[in-house]
Structure 1
Amino acid sequence: MNSEARNQHVGKVTHHELKQTLGTWQLWGIAVGLVISGEYFGWSYGWASAGTLGFVITAVFIAAMYTTFIFSFTELTTSIPHAGGPFAYARHAFGPTGGYLAGAATLVEFVFAPPAIALAIGAYLHVQFPGLEPKHAAMGAYLVFMALNIVGVQIAAAFELCVTLLAIFELLVFMGVVSPGFQWTNFTKGGWSGADTFSMGSFHGMFAAIPFAIWFFLAIEGVAMAAEEAKNPKRSIPIAYVTGILTLVVLAIGVMVFAGAAGDWTKLSNINDPLPQAMKFIVGEHSGWMHMLVWLGLFGLVASFHGIILGYSRQIFALARAGFLPEWLAKVHPRFKTPHRAILAGGVVGIAAIYSDELIQFGGQTLTANIVTMSVFGAIVMYIISMLALFKLRRSDPNMERPFRAPLFPFFPAFALVAAVICLATMAYFNFLVAIVFAIFLALGYVYFLLTRHQRETAPTDALLEE
């Protein structure tokens, strides 16, 4: 590209800038809020295949993977504070092809997670208002929270922090209310895939339960997508990530143990509302505590739904700005300084998924289960590429400024990498049809990537990736 053309494209950056307004507390709220719906539903399905004790082992393994991953991932986020997150790290390490793979995987994770949560919101509201169609309620949730994200990231982040604090408060209330009935024997009875003793067959259930343990922590890495909007990313992001993952690990353990010890855990293992049902064991169906939990349970779903909309919009924005998606998706609202077109584009895909029963409901799984599984595939592939990028950049760019360095390198990122590979293999084995669909999606995206090389060559210069 000649100098005149390059100057013209650099000039475009003024139309693609995000406003730096987020502080440490707000980033922590995003980190926890992105994930906290996973404490409310989804994880208890792991009990159906692994039992309570088997699932504890699976959950501890996944918690270790996420903890080592986040400590390692933070090095990348603070070194390259870019709205593209994993896309930017992989592009810096492996070039455009690596950037495509990481960006596409992250896009799958963050675009497919919201419709699953929206369907849960719709189902919840349907219980309270039987005349309300769940899918219509899910679409309504999209419209409300897309609008909130467009109005401004400061308002969106403040809302996210509030609903996250309320969701945490509710989980603590749940643990406090059921604690008088806590009996460890309830938790351990039939704890190995329905048996009282461990056997080789327990391993099968523990591996099958991996996706449900991942649901405890899925999407915490989305804070990386808000890096360009952080006031002091080199300081605030490490604090937000580390305190966020510790918060979630404590809540996950507490919710799982207290729910399982409250009564017959087998009655909680195949339902979408394990916490209210566990509370029924202790306080009965008509208790005021019970009604409070049911109503406030919406906050956990809303926190994750709202936060992930913020995440997917920044990923679409970054990919479009770099020429990996149509350039018009990178436009920033002239007044609110938010990527409004990216927010709307992801919402269109999500709403389409909500109403696509026949297309997405296959392999004997429900619509929600397949959407969740697709999202998890994207996450795991992104984790693998991110850890490979960390190792690559340590060798190829040893002088890069690293405000936060992964502790116990190379052991932490190596453990996260190996654990993610195990998760990917397990996911593909137990969800082969979804794996095929995910692979087809990546292949079609790669064809588009090959056909749009000129689009990337004429994209605005990205200083964060040119350093």
Structure 2
Amino acid sequence: MADGTESTTAKPVPPPGDAGASPEDAYLQKRALRRGSAGWLLLTGLGVAYVVSGDFSGWNFGLAEAGFGGLAIAAVLMGLMYTCMVFALAELAAILPTAGGGYGFARRALGTWGGFLTGTAILIEYVLAPAAISIFIGDYVESLNLFGLESGWPVYLACFVIFIGIHLWGVGEALRFSFIVTGIAVAALLIFALGAFTEFDASGLNDIPVDHNAFGSNSWLPFGVLGIWAAFPFGMWFFLGVEGVPLAAEETRDPARSLPKAMAISMGILLLLALITFLAATGARGSAAIQDAGNPLVEALQGDGEPTPLSRFVNYAGLAGLVASFFSLIYAGSRQLFALSRAGYLPRFLSLTSRRKAPYLGLLVPGAIGFSLAAATGDGARMLNVAVFGATISYALMSLSHIVLRRREPELPRPYRTPGGIATSSVALALACSALVATFLVDKWAALIALIVYVVAGAYFAFYSRHRLVAAAPEEEFAALAAAEAELERK
């Protein structure tokens, strides 16, 4: 790494059919993504797409845990966590722009076990979340009476088949589709806010009855101080998934510049959307009226229970938001699976790519698992809670990776540096650990399910795959260079 560039790009390989290709190059030829397919604008759209469905529903259940004041504090703290983490990940993504994302960062900082645990946690999030969202899409399709369909496995199957098909077509086409649908959803949120703010009444914000037995309870914190903590997972729904932008690194033009720029802009957009959505929805109808609503924005606009032209529009736009998040989360899950498989942490055949450079098994296998879970359980809320549990583990490990690399390798070339340095990632680490514990307050079974998956995956890694890692994979090669440099320094 004499010139500081060897570790920042994936190793180029000869073209397919090159007789002079080494076994390592031949292996990587079959596992190559299409480079240069996305710039900062499409990446920004991807970052917003991951999350936008959370503005339309889900967050409001935190009102039943903490009331307006408690959820507001939880959302501010979770917004701070994501902002700090995004700045830390932007630095790490500029150092190592590969499809491994968080797994690659943790692999360099925390070793093979750290890389595996981080990658597995990310994979849990990105496999379970699309399954949950497919169920929510089914509910929307039924409520809107689209084509007379009811929520059930045919709708879930159609979601996976159609949208995985677009991903198999090509990454450029997939990201452009995601960008358009996300734009529709964001425009709808802004239109909703304009309409809802005309009905704003501050007296409705704290209209949830107070539990006087709860410590520190009052009209703004009806369930006391502990309610704030219990609302952490719901505050996360305004931002859950934005950390997936670095997974597009190998398909990005000038990733060292594009990734930090896109992550910062998408985070800024999400913070603004969270603020206006939260205030407009609760102020228009009151916290009590929407705390249990499956479609809180529509509920906020229908004061007398009768649909209005605006509420119908927002209802359809909510479906667009769900599609955007579903579509982009499938992308993220496929790239994390691709990277873990390419490096040997998971079965290697899962990282094979098609002629159009799409990781087809990385798309089809998680899709089959997601569809099976959705069809078998129909429990979208629990699957999202499992996804949140996996996400919080990965957040803690990725934030820790930033701290470790800053301390252990201060001279590592950093095209982008996190504002605030270690202090920023330390805030993200502390809040991620708090959010992890909070998941047990909301859904103990979801946390237990995630832990069981973790134990099974850990056993596979401990007894089999850790002895069969692929040294030529970009993330592993990057870590090997660090080990070699450390050995030279000791000599």
TM-score, shorter chain, exceeding 0.5 = yes
| 1:202-231 residue CA offsets vs partner (Å, 9 max, x unmatched) | 112222111111111111011111011101
| 1:344-369 residue CA offsets vs partner (Å, 9 max, x unmatched) | 01101101111222xxxxxxxx8222
Q: For residues 211 and 249 of structure 2, what CA distance do their matches in structure 1 show?
A: 42
Which residue of 2 is the match for residue 441 of structure 1? 453
Contact 2:60 2:234 in 1 (8 A): yes
After TM superposition, the structure 1 = structure 2 runs for residues 384-463 of structure 1, keeping only pairs within 5 Å, are: 384-453=396-465, 456-458=468-470, 460-462=472-474, 463=477
| 1:35-75 residue CA offsets vs partner (Å, 9 max, x unmatched) | 00000000000011111122111111111111111111111
**Corresponding position: 1:58 with 2:74:** yes
- Check 1:40–1:461 CA distance in 2 against 1; reply closer, same or farther (3 A cut): closer
What one-letter code is carried by the residue in structure 1 that aligns with 2:291?
A: S
The number of equivalent residue pairs is 452
1:181 CA displacement:
1.1
Residue 347 (structure 1) aligned to one of 367, 371, 376: 367
What one-letter code is carried by the residue in structure 2 that aligns with 1:184?
A: A
Residue 105 (structure 1) aligned to one of 121, 125, 130: 121
1:315 CA displacement:
0.5
Q: For residues 69 and 193 of structure 1, what CA distance do their matches in structure 2 show?
A: 34
| 1:138-167 residue CA offsets vs partner (Å, 9 max, x unmatched) | 221111110011100000000111111111
Which residue of 1 is the match for residue 98 of structure 2? 82
What one-letter code is carried by the residue in structure 2 that aligns with 1:441?
A: V
Residue 93 (structure 1) aligned to one of 75, 84, 109: 109
Residue 308 (structure 2) aligned to one of 284, 287, 292: 287
Q: For residues 317 and 343 of structure 2, what CA distance do their matches in structure 1 show?
A: 41
| 1:242-280 residue CA offsets vs partner (Å, 9 max, x unmatched) | 111110011011001011111232121112100011111
Contact 1:47 1:193 in 2 (8 A): no
SS at match of 1:115: helix
What one-letter code is carried by the residue in structure 2 that aligns with 1:317?
A: F
Contact 1:36 1:300 in 2 (8 A): yes
**Corresponding position: 1:313 with 2:334:** yes
Residue 13 (structure 1) aligned to one of 28, 48, 73: 28
Q: For residues 427 and 208 of structure 1, what CA distance do their matches in structure 2 show?
A: 7
- Check 1:438–1:17 CA distance in 2 against 1; reply closer, same or farther (3 A cut): same
Q: For residues 26 and 452 of structure 2, what CA distance do their matches in structure 1 show?
A: 37
Which residue of 2 is the match for residue 303 of structure 1? 324
1:454 CA displacement:
6.9
SS at match of 2:52: helix
Question: Which segments of 5 or more consecutive residues in structure 2 lack a partner in the other structure?
Answer: 1-20, 482-491
Q: For residues 473 and 275 of structure 2, what CA distance do their matches in structure 1 show?
A: 45
What one-letter code is carried by the residue in structure 2 that aligns with 1:344?
A: L
1:451 CA displacement:
2.7
- Check 1:203–1:135 CA distance in 2 against 1; reply closer, same or farther (3 A cut): farther
**Corresponding position: 1:223 with 2:245:** yes
Which residue of 1 is the match for residue 190 of structure 2? 172
1:466 CA displacement:
4.1
Q: For residues 209 and 265 of structure 2, what CA distance do their matches in structure 1 show?
A: 31
- Check 1:99–1:454 CA distance in 2 against 1; reply closer, same or farther (3 A cut): closer
After TM superposition, the structure 1 = structure 2 runs for residues 68-217 of structure 1, keeping only pairs within 5 Å, are: 68-129=84-145, 130-190=148-208, 197=219, 201-217=223-239
Q: For residues 222 and 274 of structure 2, what CA distance do their matches in structure 1 show?
A: 26
| 1:388-411 residue CA offsets vs partner (Å, 9 max, x unmatched) | 111111122222221111111221
SS at match of 1:242: helix
1:188 CA displacement:
3.3
- Check 1:461–1:184 CA distance in 2 against 1; reply closer, same or farther (3 A cut): closer
**Corresponding position: 1:329 with 2:341:** no
After TM superposition, the structure 1 = structure 2 runs for residues 213-252 of structure 1, keeping only pairs within 5 Å, are: 213-252=235-274
Q: TM-score, normalised by structure 2?
A: 0.88
- Check 1:11–1:395 CA distance in 2 against 1; reply closer, same or farther (3 A cut): farther
Residue 358 (structure 2) aligned to one of 308, 316, 338: 338
- Check 1:13–1:191 CA distance in 2 against 1; reply closer, same or farther (3 A cut): farther
Q: For residues 142 and 220 of structure 2, what CA distance do their matches in structure 1 show?
A: 40
Question: Which segments of 5 or more consecutive residues in structure 1 lack a partner in the other structure?
Answer: 1-5, 358-365
- Check 1:394–1:108 CA distance in 2 against 1; reply closer, same or farther (3 A cut): same
Which residue of 1 is the match for residue 290 of structure 2? 268
Contact 2:84 2:427 in 1 (8 A): yes
- Check 1:316–1:304 CA distance in 2 against 1; reply closer, same or farther (3 A cut): same
SS at match of 1:356: helix
Q: For residues 199 and 255 of structure 1, what CA distance do their matches in structure 2 show?
A: 20
- Check 1:320–1:120 CA distance in 2 against 1; reply closer, same or farther (3 A cut): same
SS at match of 1:97: helix
- With 244-253 and 131-140 compared, the bigger mean Cα shift is at 131-140
Q: TM-score, normalised by structure 1?
A: 0.92
